[in-house]
Chain A
Amino acid sequence: MKIWTSEHVFDHPWETVTTAAMQKYPNPMNPSVIGVDVLDRHIDPSGKLHSHRLLSTEWGMPSIVKSLIGACRTKTYVQEHSVVDPMKKTMELKSSNISFTNLVSVDERLIYKPHPQEPEKTILTQEAIISVKGISVSSYLEGLMENTISSNANKGREALEWVISKLNAEIEEFTASARGSMRTSMAAAAFVEK
Chain B
Amino acid sequence: MDQTGTYPVKLYIYDLSRGMARQLSPVMLGKQLDGIWHTAIVVHGKEFFFVGGGVNSCSPGGTHLGEPDSIVDLGFTEVPAEIFMDYLTSLAESTYSGDKYNLFEHNCNSFSNEVAQFLTGKKIPSYITDLPSEVLSTPFGQALRPLLDSMNINPGGNNITGQR
Partners in one complex: no
Instruction: Identify the A interface with B (CB < 8 A).
Output: none
Instruction: Identify the B interface with A (CB < 8 A).
Output: none
